[in-house]
Structure 1
Amino acid sequence: MSPRATRAVNLAHTLTKTARRLPESTALVSGPVRWSWRELDDAVGALAHLLHERGVRPGQCVLVHSTNHLEYVQTMFAVWRVGAVLAPTNVRVTPADVAGIARTCRPVALVCHRDFPEHASAVTAEIPLPAGILWIGADPTDEDGVAAAGSPIPYTDAPVRVGAPAWYFFTSGTSGAPKAAILTHDQMGFVLTNHLCDLMPALTERDVSLVVAPLSHGAGTHVLPQVAVGAATVLTRSGTLDGSEVWELVERERVSNMFTVPTILKLLAEHPDAGVRDHSSLRHVIYAGAPMYAADQQHARRVLGDVLVQYYGLGEVTGNITVLPPRLHDHPSPDGVEIGTCGYPRTGMQVSIQDETGHELPAGRQGEICVAGPAVFAGYLNNDAADAAAFRDGWFRTGDLGILDDHGFLYVTGRASDMYICGGSNIYPRDIEEKLLEHPDVSEAAVLGMPDPVWGEVGVAICVPVPGACLDPDELRRWLEPRLARYKLPRHFLLWDELPKSGYGKVVKRTIRSQLHARSWPPARPRAVS
């Protein structure tokens, strides 16, 4: 039989179906503005028509740089409806970073929030934009504004085939040449279904979702299952995370689910309003993107109840590696493993722990976490070298280290690149960080290896005190000594006011390393630990 081009379902069709079924129900909420599904669908059709009129064609890329906004959601579905590829950026990156991303994905159009003209100028200085720039948040009278897309014009979802790109997902970090993971319509259709199956079972049009993380990454993916079932999505109005606003919205809108990252969840659970606002409507508070330390996880559970849902994954697998539902957050760790599990493999996915040669390791043995299944991306955009490094014998190599227990639960023990070697011993920071966060006066902690003329590398622990606490590095060292094997004990303990984080809330260790070098590393040799 000759190969055939199998048709896939355009992601925009999730909106098309819901708008037919629930035209007058609430789709999006932002402050006093409430759009019905019919209004959102009409707005998407009008913008898709405008993009087409400007020359955007199926398979071409549209770059999006904006804070969360009603028109951001409109833009996502309009780009897909016309058959083009969405390429959203982290709103916190520099104009030069966005220009670098544009060099990689070669967009024909840019949709940019009006507050970021420097970013738009950097892109236009780098590459031509034949379809021009459209502005989010512009006055409706501005002919280049998304809001000026015009009266509702029916626009049929463009046909797409299996393997057609839908989303260029730029991986965390913008140092060096950025990498764009290609997410396809059919792959994202599986992710959407899997989110409904594993993360938010029984989600319906009666549910309400709150967006507290950037739509450019995980929170944007989280919108898709809401649209598919007809659940309303609420956007915050603050430019930064405002715990008071979040808890007021949870109470007022009867929010039932939200996607967060561990740092956001920690801040929300520690906010005073979490103890006074009614959050009994919450059923699924999903957190992902980085490990959540046990102390923070336990506090969030005490405050919010058994509503936490953890998933583990990377952008290249759109988060679809493991899931830990609320009822399993007390799953016991096996002997010798002092961290909690991130759950069991997602439906339809397979996890393998492999050694350096690609051989699968038995339960209890640490190795690289590798994954296979329909959620794995199609590869990197125009980057054969990155593809070759990321795949081995068909498995996607995450670069994370982990252990599977006898029941198939996964434990992420560290990032391979985080490991350092001190005096010939391999040291993985996560266990040390978990221990530090058990100290009542430590709010955040990061441990990394730094160069040392005697030991090769030594551990450096950077701790952020809880507000009002007075930490002493020597006391912290003495407190930690009986809780760790001696070879794991950091040689240096530093106190900082805050840890540098990415736009998605992850602690960025390469920035910490750069800051330590900028502060004339190494410091004076510390007193020997006897």
Structure 2
Amino acid sequence: MNPAEWLARTARSSPQAPALFQGTRQVADYAGFARRAAGIAADLRARGIGRGDRVAICLPNCADYLPILYGILWAGASTVPVNHKLHAREVAWIVNAASCKLVFIHDSHGLQAACPLGAPPCIAPDSAAFAAMKASAPLPWPVAMDPDDPAWLFYTSGTTGRPKGAILSAGNLLAMSLSYLADVDAVAPEDAALYAAPMSHGAGLYNFIHVQRGARHVIPESGGFEPAEILTLARALRNISMFAAPTMVKRLIDAARATGATGDGIKTIVYGGGPMYVADIQTALEVFGPKFVQIYGQGESPMTISALSRADLANRTHPDWTRHLASVGRAHSVAELQVVSSDLTPLAAGEIGEIAVRGPQVMQGYLDNPEATAQALRDGWLMTGDLGYLDPEGYLHLQDRARDLVISGGSNIYPREVEEALLTHAGVSEVSVIGAPDPDWGEIVVAFVVPHGATPPEPQALDAACSGMIARFKKPKRYVFVTELPKNSYGKVLKTELRARLLAMSPQVAG
């Protein structure tokens, strides 16, 4: 089934239900939302774009984003959401690699200059051409899709080379969306999905189930993540649900504490995309109460590997509550989950290995990249590249990306456990741990620390914080104090950039 059918059905059953908002201002009801998408679809079909073709969206979060997305799907084509903050050369590479027939983008000049063979046609949402698209005689009903038909081409972040295009089919998107209801949260028509994180990534994927349920879709006036704006919108619109990276949650909680806000109007915050440290989620629960759900997923298994439920997060009386907080929950309903050795042998509870997942939500493969596909999909299992273990209750505990493992003196050191220990020190705001080459040990542990306030804590004090939680050999050998950690637009810390900084800088104070 074409995911756009959910929009068509909701518009037919609840045409006057409020749908699209820019801030607190309603932009369209569901009839208007579907009318715009169907007009865009008709225009695309008139251009010869349909089933099997790809259309890119390189836009910031805006009220036109979802009508464009659904217009592409309505026409039977596959959407290629691209991070609008990428350099024009990076956008050009994706657009060319995906053989896109059209690009929705505000400023096409940089893209055209970056495409040596010429960019595909470009349309800006504020152009007369786009207004004409929306006003086209609507395509009556979405073009039929089979479950294996490509619907969303998700390009990886490319931190270890050229990004790869994960092919997500119509069936993948539907499995992911229905799993949201089973494992993450209920959705009702009075709810509102708030898009503060980039819609080209996980936040945008959650639109589907909110469309199916006839809920509202809210784009902040800022178009992004501004904690004060989000707290104000929540109070005004009520029943807000949003996806946020852990760094975003931390900023939101800090802003709430500074103003005395309690998260009034926020229904659910789904967090994921990076580690949420135990101290941070405990603080978030104290400030906002039981409004959080954690998910673990990848672009190749979108938002759908495991989930830590609202009940698990809120159950302080459970004897293993803290241990549950440190996990990423249990397998989604649609996911089979294993931790395996290098030869794909399933490991026993407590043994660390690579996390593998399979199910109807897992990608079809990487576009035009059979070698990478064969490496990622083995015997039907997606090899995530993440290391972790399952406990006897089935909770999955992430250690780190395999490439982030530090091997010092022959011993494995997982950066996350060092980061968790350092964050118990009151003088540490943020921290990221990496390995640095060392002639004697192979690698040593280096911690990049963002201090609270202007005065960094003494390295000896940070050592003491570690001593109470982790083995001595895991303690950082060096501390590097910085004003902020480099992050991508999704809030993930860029450890590759930290490694590059370390190579370029002079020796820092040793711990």
Q: Is this a same-fold pair by TM over 0.5?
A: yes
Partner of 2:124: 135
Query: Residue 56 of structure 2 contacts residue 81 of structure 2 at CA under 8 Å; is this kept in 1?
Result: yes
| 1:430-456 C-alpha deviation (Å, 9 max, x unpaired) | 100011111111111000001112211
Distance 1:335 1:72 in 2: 40
Partner of 1:161: 146
The TM-score normalised by the length of structure 2 is 0.94
Matches within 5 A, 1:30-109: 30-31=22-23, 32-109=25-102
* Residue of structure 2 in register with 1:10 after alignment: 2
Q: Counterparts of 1:111-130 in structure 2 under 5 Å?
A: 111-112=104-105, 114=106, 116-122=107-113, 124-129=115-120
CA distance in 2, matches of 1:289, 1:149: 34
Structure 2: gaps spanning 5 or more residues: none
State the shift of 1:477 in Å: 2.8
Q: Distance in 2 between matches of 1:181 and 1:497?
A: 35
| Aligned residue among 143, 155, 158 for 1:173 | 158
**Residue identity in the other structure for 1:69:** C
Match of 2:312 in 1: 328
> Corresponding residue for 1:382?
368
- Structure 2 equivalent of residue 411 of structure 1: 397
State the shift of 1:281 in Å. 3.4
Is this contact kept in 1: 2:312–2:324, CA < 8 A? no
Could you tell me how far 1:333 is from its partner in structure 2? 8.7
Deviation at 1:292, TM superposition (A): 0.5
Instruction: Give the Cα–Cα distance (whole angstroms) in 2 for the partners of residues 205 and 29 of structure 1.
Output: 14
Does 1:288 find its partner at 2:272? yes
Which of 302, 306, 324 is residue 286 of structure 2 equivalent to?
302
C-alpha separation between the residues in 1 aligned to 2:325 and 2:181?
28
In 2, Cα distance between equivalents of 1:515 and 1:149: 47
Shift, 1:46, TM fit: 1.2
Query: TM-score when scaled to structure 1?
Result: 0.91
Q: State the match for 1:228 in structure 2.
A: 212
Asked whether the equivalents of residues 427 and 452 of structure 2 are also in contact (C-alpha less than 8 Å), the reply is yes
Aligned partner of residue 60 in structure 2, secondary structure: coil
Distance 1:175 1:265, change over 3 A: same
Q: Distance in 2 between matches of 1:176 and 1:406?
A: 37
- 1:504 corresponds to 2:497: no
Paired letter, 2:384: T
Matched, 1:187 2:172: yes
SS at match of 2:57: strand
Checking the alignment, whether the CA contact within 8 Å between 1:403 and 1:412 is kept in structure 2 is yes
- CA displacement, residues 329-388 of structure 1 (integer Å, 9 cap, x when unaligned): 258797997971111111121111111111111111111111111111111111111111
Give the deviation of 1:256 after TM superposition. Answer: 3.2
Distance 1:304 1:126, change over 3 A: farther
Task: Give the CA deviation at 1:55.
Answer: 2.5
Structure 1 residue 475, shift from structure 2 partner: 3.3
Residue of structure 1 in register with 2:383 after alignment:
397
Say if 2:41 and 2:139, in contact at 8 Å, map to a contact too: no
Name which of structure 1's ranges 378-387 and 460-469 shifts more when overlaid on structure 2.
460-469
Question: Out of 18, 25, 35, which is 1:26 matched to?
Answer: 18
Q: In the aligned structure 1, how far is the partner of 2:329 from the partner of 2:141?
A: 40
Q: Using a 3 Å threshold, how does the CA distance of structure 1 residues 174 and 63 change in structure 2: closer, same or farther?
A: farther
**How far does the alpha carbon of each residue in 1:132-177 deviate from its partner, in whole angstroms, 9 at most, with x for none?**
11112x1xxx333357532552432111122100000111235532
- Bigger mean CA offset, 236-245 vs 67-76: 236-245
The 1-side partners of 2:389 and 2:251 are apart by 29
1:199 to 180, 184, 189: 184
Structure 1 gap ranges (5+): 1-8
Secondary structure, aligned partner of 1:169? strand
Secondary structure class of the residue paired with 1:504:
coil
Do the aligned partners of 2:41 and 2:138 also contact (CA within 8 Å) in 1?
A: no
The answer to whether the Cα contact below 8 Å between 1:268 and 1:274 also exists between their aligned partners in 2 is no
Pairwise CA distance, 1:261: 1.2
Partner of 1:259: 243
CA distance 1:224–1:181, shift in 2 (3 Å): same
Q: Aligned pair in 2 of structure 1 residues 184, 239: CA closer, same or farther (>3 Å)?
A: same
Give how far 1:209 is off: 1.8
CA distance in structure 2 between the partners assigned to 1:339 and 1:448 by the alignment: 23
Q: Aligned to 1:494, which of 480, 485, 506?
A: 480
SS, match of residue 160 in structure 1: coil
Deviations 1:262-305 (A, max 9, x none): 11111111104785446343332111111211111111111110
In 1: Cα distance, 2:154 partner to 2:254 partner: 31
CA distance in 1, matches of 2:472, 2:501: 27
Q: What are the equivalent positions in structure 2 for 1:422-501 lying under 5 Å apart?
A: 422-501=408-487
Contact 2:234 2:264 in 1 (8 A): no
Identity %: 34
